[in-house]
Amino acid sequence: MQLFNPSSEELSNAISARSENFLDVIVPFNELQCVNNDEIVSFTYNLGTAQFSEYAFRQLLTRVQLSSSYWRRLQAWDANELMVDNFNFCNEATANEISHQKRNNEPSYLFRLNPTTPIEEEEETEDEENGESSLITPVRAVLSATYSVFDDDQLFFILMNELDQNDNSSYSLYEYDDHITRLHIKFEDTQVVHSEGEDNEVTYSAGMIISNSEVGCSSIWIEPVVYRNDAVFVNRTSLTKQNVDMKIVHRGNIDSERILQMLETCSEVAQVGIVQLEEAFNKKIDPKYALTFMQTIIDFPNRMALILHEDWEHEEDLKQAEVANAILEMAQSLPLFQRTKVEQAAGRMIGLFDNYQNRMEQIIEDINN
């Protein structure tokens, strides 16, 4: 789902509506059983029958150290009894390993039930007549019981309370899928319009992206970016090397003060990036280096690389920003998980946020003079 240029009220309503049906359940290992009923393999626990999403089921197999490829092979063979025996053995063995660890942890899962699918009741069964639950519970994630829940309705409301007081910031995009949520923020007073060919003016602006995953596929990230219209340049690698605090893992308690400090730091870094991008408009680059760099980008499709190779191979006046823009434009047709890696490469091409502290001091000095 995507919500473009939402107001603060629209954003609050969207986050609240998505979160209102969330349900978490702690499930001890010994309460989860794999069973074979009427030639159907299923998983039962104290609330009924767990119906795992594909992603959640991969998490479950990983937690009990059972190979997903082996499981698929058993499914193909209709080897139901082997599936049941293998899972229950691995589940019990993993519980024993956890119980013998030094830290005092009860071997338990955290099941995050799917908020978009209502919990449905099956037709009356013999188990139900005996007083046992027959509910089908859709599970969107299987996590450790030690996982700290920092849901979107906690995180984003902390940030929005601060951002709503700043007339200079605006929400440009709220997007999420089954795995990750991203909130895009732009700083209005940093806009730069640059002409890129006849009748083609492109707006650049500094901003931030706030990312979170409620199903364990990402930590919280509050990171500075530079927007090219609605596409984004990022360079997480450079900022990590400079010890910029952008990441919060789902462990311990959520720290509001730390989040707000990260917000302030990233706001400053982002505005250095817009200056660096302007400089890249005039920096020449060797086409051979550009082509070599392109080949190092993880997940960059070969068909796209061939297009850029033809464009750059005989180019005599190639600019650094042109190369980065071309890579970024190609990224927009890729799926989100693949696109983010290519966006990072576009940021590295222009050295975005490199040596940001010295650049910040230099910019302040130039302003004062």
For 326-337, what is each residue's pLDDT tens digit? 999 998 888 877
Most confident by average pLDDT, 56-65, 282-291, 300-309: 56-65
Which structure tokens are listed for 62?
A: 């990983």
Each residue of 6-23: pLDDT tens digit? 999 999 999 999 888 789
**pLDDT, tens digit, 9 for 90 and up, residues 173-192:** 999 988 999 999 999 999 99
d(CA 322, CA 114): 43
What's residue 38's pLDDT?
87
Mean pLDDT over all residues of the chain?
90
pLDDT (tens digit per residue) in 234-248: 999 999 999 999 999
Rounded to whole angstroms, how far apart are CA atoms 235 and 344?
Answer: 5
Q: What does the alpha-carbon distance between residue 282 and residue 277 come to, in Å, rounded to a whole number?
A: 10
pLDDT in tens, 227-279: 999 899 999 999 999 999 999 999 999 899 999 999 999 999 999 999 999 88
Compute and round to an integer the Cα radius of gyration of the chain: 25
Q: 234 near 209, Cβ under 8 Å?
A: yes
Name which residue leads in pLDDT, 206 or 104.
206
| C-alpha–C-alpha distance, residues 270 and 31, integer Å | 49
Angle at 113 between CA 109 and CA 117, to 5 degrees: 160
Residues facing residue 209 across a β-bridge:
184, 223
pLDDT at 200: 81
* pLDDT given at position 124: 46
- 369 — pLDDT class (breaks 50, 70, 90): confident
pLDDT of residue 128: 47
Distance CA 296, CA 12 (A): 40
Contact call for residues 350 and 232 (beta carbons, < 8 A): no
Give the C-alpha distances (Å, rounded to integers) separating 14 from 74, 154, 157, 160.
42, 13, 12, 13
pLDDT score for 123 = 47
**256-280 and 356-368 are packed helices; what angle lies between their axes, rounded to 10 degrees?**
70
pLDDT given for residue 119 in this prediction: 56
Provide long-range contacts, Cβ within 8 A and 24+ apart, for 23-27: 23/112, 23/113, 23/115, 24/110, 24/111, 24/112, 24/113, 24/149, 25/110, 25/111, 25/113, 25/137, 26/108, 26/109, 26/110, 26/111, 26/145, 27/108, 27/109, 27/110, 27/111
pLDDT band for position 316 (cuts 50, 70, 90): confident
Worst-scoring range by mean pLDDT, 112-126, 152-166, 284-298? 112-126
Read off the tokens for 286: 């060797």
CB 82 within 8 A of CB 165: no
CA–CA distance, 301 with 295 (Å, rounded to integer): 10
Query: Rounded to 5 degrees, what are φ and ψ at 105?
Result: -115, 130
pLDDT digits (tens, 9 = 90+) for 75-132: 999 999 999 999 999 999 999 999 888 776 789 999 999 856 555 544 444 444 444 4
- The DSSP symbol for 319 reads B
Helices and strands per DSSP (H, E), number in the chain? 13, 15
N residues, the chain:
369
